[in-house]
C-alpha cells in the first residue's frame, strides 16, 4: 500500500506540475572549469531546484537541496551544479572511472537528444571529480563507452559544486535549427542512501528518459565533424630456453568517422588486442558453448544495436574457432596437437546510428585470416600441417524501429561465410 501511495503521489505530482522545463542560455563568455561558478553567465541563467526524492521514500522532499543550470556556446553544453550539504559530511571516497557504488556522492545528467525517451546519454561526476558515463539504450546502460568531456568539482563548507562541459562531439543530435531535447538530473547522497531527481521518476520503472523534462532555448548549433585516426605500432619479444628469443612487430589503425549527425563509421585495420585481459580457464562439461566477456574496445563501443536481439556474440570473431571448424579437415586417427590461440583479425568495420524517425541502423563486417595447425596421426606418429580455420567473413545487419509507448520492433540477420568446405551459418531473428 505504501509503494502504491508513493507511486500515485508521483503520478499526481507530474500531472499537477505538467512538463518541467529548464532554459539554456547561450553565452560568448569564456568559462573556466573550476567549479567556482563565478562567471557572469551563472548569474544570468535560470537555476532549477525542487528535486524529488526517489529513494528511500519516493515523493518525499530531499534532505539536502540541489540546484542546476545550463548554458551553451558554439562548442559545448555547460552545466552548473550546486549540491548543498555540510562540507565535512560530503563523501570523499575515490573510485575508478565508471565504478558507481553506494558510497559515492554523485550528480548525474540524463540526455535524450532525439526525443524518443528510449535512447540517450548519461554523464555523472562524483564529489571527488571521478567521471561516470554511459550510453542509454532501452533502459540499459553501456558503461563500456568512454566519451570525451570535462568536469571539475569543489567541496566547500556549504556543500560541493560542479562545472561540467559536454562537447557536441561527445553526443549525437539531429541537424535542426531548434533542438528538442529531454533531460533529467539525479543526485545521490551516500550517507543517507538517498537518490533525488529533478523530474519525478516512478520507482517501479526508474526510467530517467521516459520520465524527464525539456531543455528550452538551444538553437543554432551544428553537429561537428567527427573524425579520428588512431595508428598504432607494437612489438613483442618472447624468450624460451629451447628456441631462444623471438621478436614480432604489428601495425595498424583505428578510424572513426561521423557520416552524418546520426550514423558513425568505425573501422579497425589489423588490430592488436595484446592489451586485453586473459579469460579465466573454465572446464566445460556441458554440450553448450561458454560465453566469455568481451573486452576488446572495438567490440564493446557502440554495439547496442547489434546485441539487442541476443544473436550477436562477438567473441566468435578473431578468437579460436569452434571445435566443429577445427576438426573439419582431420583424417581418421588424427588429432590436433598445435592449435593457435586466435585467428588474425584482418579488419572489422561497423556503421551504426539512429535516424530522426527513430529507425536504428547497424551494419557490421569482420574478416579473419586463415589459420593452420598441426595434426598428429596416432597410429604412426606422423605430423602434417592442416588448415583448421579458413578465411572467414562475419556479417550482421540490424534494423530497429522505435514505436510509441516505449516499444520497438527489431530485425537482425547474422551471417558467417567460410572459404572452402567449412560450414557456413545464417540466422535471422525478429
Q: What is the pLDDT of residue 410?
A: 94
**Model confidence at 4, in pLDDT bands (50, 70, 90)?**
very low
Percentage of the chain surpassing pLDDT 70? 95
Note whether 226 and 264 are within 8 A (CB). Answer: yes
Is the pLDDT at 322 greater than 80? The verdict is: no
Percentage of the chain surpassing pLDDT 90? 44
Q: What is the pLDDT of residue 9?
A: 46
Mean pLDDT lowest among 38-47, 66-75, 370-379 = 370-379
Note whether 137 and 119 are within 8 A (CB). Answer: yes
213-216 and 21-26 strand pairing: parallel
Note whether 200 and 61 are within 8 A (CB). Answer: no
Q: What is the pLDDT of residue 336?
A: 85
Is the pLDDT at 165 greater than 90? The verdict is: yes
Q: Pick the more confident residue, 334 or 142.
A: 334
Average pLDDT over residues 318-333: 79
Q: What is the pLDDT of residue 17?
A: 47
Q: Pick the more confident residue, 376 or 324.
A: 376
Residues whose CB falls within 8 Å of the CB of residue 80, separated by 6 or more in sequence, listed in order: 37, 42, 45, 47, 68, 69, 70, 71, 161, 162, 163
Is the pLDDT at 185 greater than 90? The verdict is: yes
pLDDT in tens, 243-259: 788 888 888 898 988 88
Residues 351, 361: Cα–Cα separation, whole Å: 8
Residues 323, 134: Cα–Cα separation, whole Å: 36
Residues 62, 185: Cα–Cα separation, whole Å: 14
pLDDT in tens, 86-98: 989 999 999 888 8
pLDDT in tens, 89-127: 999 999 888 888 888 999 999 999 988 888 899 999 999
**Model confidence at 397, in pLDDT bands (50, 70, 90)?**
very high
Residues 75, 97: Cα–Cα separation, whole Å: 24
**Model confidence at 275, in pLDDT bands (50, 70, 90)?**
low
DSSP β-bridge partners for residue 83: 66, 160
DSSP β-bridge partners for residue 265: 257, 351
Q: What is the pLDDT of residue 52?
A: 94
Cα dist from 363 to 144, 221, 301, 302, 356, whole Å: 20, 29, 14, 11, 18
Q: What average pLDDT does the structure give for the chain?
A: 87
Note whether 130 and 164 are within 8 A (CB). Answer: no
Residues whose CB falls within 8 Å of the CB of residue 245, separated by 6 or more in sequence, listed in order: 237, 238, 239
Q: What is the pLDDT of residue 357?
A: 83
Residues 269, 254: Cα–Cα separation, whole Å: 6
pLDDT in tens, 15-70: 444 578 999 999 999 999 999 999 999 999 999 999 999 999 999 999 999 999 99
Is the pLDDT at 415 greater than 50? The verdict is: yes
Amino acid at each position: 500500500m505504501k509503494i502504491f501511495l508513493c507511486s500515485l503521489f508521483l503520478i499526481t505530482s507530474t500531472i499537477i506540475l505538467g512538463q518541467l522545463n529548464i532554459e539554456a542560455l547561450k553565452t560568448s563568455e569564456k568559462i573556466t572549469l573550476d567549479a567556482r561558478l563565478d562567471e557572469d553567465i551563472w548569474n544570468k541563467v535560470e537555476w532549477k531546484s525542487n528535486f524529488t526524492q526517489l529513494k528511500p521514500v519516493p515523493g518525499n522532499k530531499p534532505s539536502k537541496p540541489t540546484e542546476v543550470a545550463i548554458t551553451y556556446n558554439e562548442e559545448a553544453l555547460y552545466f552548473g551544479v550546486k549540491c548543498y550539504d555540510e562540507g565535512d559530511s560530503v563523501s570523499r571516497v575515490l573510485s575508478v572511472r565508471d565504478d558507481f557504488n553506494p558510497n559515492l556522492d554523485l550528480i548525474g545528467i540524463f540526455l535524450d537528444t532525439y526525443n524518443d525517451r528510449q535512447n540517450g546519454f548519461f554523464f555523472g561526476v562524483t564529489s571527488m571529480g571521478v567521471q561516470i558515463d554511459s550510453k542509454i539504450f532501452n533502459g540499459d546502460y553501456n558503461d563500456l563507452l568512454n566519451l570525451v568531456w570535462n568536469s571539475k568539482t569543489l567541496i566547500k563548507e556549504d556543500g560541493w559544486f560542479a562545472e561540467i562541459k559536454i562537447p557536441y562531439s561527445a553526443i549525437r543530435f539531429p541537424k535542426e535549427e531548434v533542438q528538442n531535447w529531454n533531460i533529467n538530473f539525479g543526485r545521490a547522497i551516500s550517507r543517507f542512501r538517498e537518490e533525488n531527481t529533478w523530474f519525478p521518476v516512478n520507482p517501479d520503472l526508474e526510467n530517467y528518459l521516459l520520465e524527464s523534462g525539456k531543455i528550452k532555448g538551444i538553437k543554432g548549433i551544428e553537429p561537428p565533424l567527427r573524425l579520428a585516426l588512431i595508428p598504432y605500432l607494437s612489438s613483442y619479444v618472447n624468450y624460451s630456453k629451447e628456441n631462444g628469443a623471438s621478436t614480432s612487430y604489428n601495425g595498424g589503425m583505428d578510424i572513426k568517422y561521423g557520416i552524418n549527425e546520426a550514423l558513425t563509421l568505425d573501422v579497425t585495420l589489423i588490430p592488436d588486442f595484446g592489451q586485453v585481459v586473459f579469460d579465466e580457464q573454465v572446464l566445460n562439461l556441458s554440450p553448450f558453448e561458454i560465453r566469455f566477456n568481451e573486452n576488446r574496445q572495438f567490440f564493446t563501443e557502440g554495439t547496442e544495436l547489434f546485441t539487442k536481439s541476443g544473436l550477436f556474440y562477438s567473441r566468435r570473431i578473431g578468437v579460436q574457432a569452434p571445435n566443429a571448424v577445427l576438426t573439419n579437415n582431420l583424417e581418421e586417427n588424427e588429432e590436433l596437437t598445435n592449435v593457435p590461440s586466435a585467428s588474425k583479425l584482418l579488419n572489422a568495420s561497423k556503421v551504426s546510428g539512429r535516424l530522426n524517425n527513430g529507425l536504428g541502423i547497424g551494419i557490421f563486417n569482420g574478416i579473419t585470416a586463415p589459420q593452420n595447425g598441426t595434426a598428429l596421426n596416432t597410429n604412426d606418429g606422423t605430423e602434417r600441417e592442416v588448415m583448421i580455420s579458413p578465411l572467414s567473413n562475419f556479417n550482421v545487419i540490424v534494423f530497429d524501429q522505435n514505436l510509441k509507448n516505449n516499444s520497438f520492433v527489431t530485425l537482425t540477420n547474422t551471417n558467417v561465410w567460410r572459404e572452402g568446405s567449412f560450414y557456413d551459418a545464417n540466422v535471422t531473428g525478429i
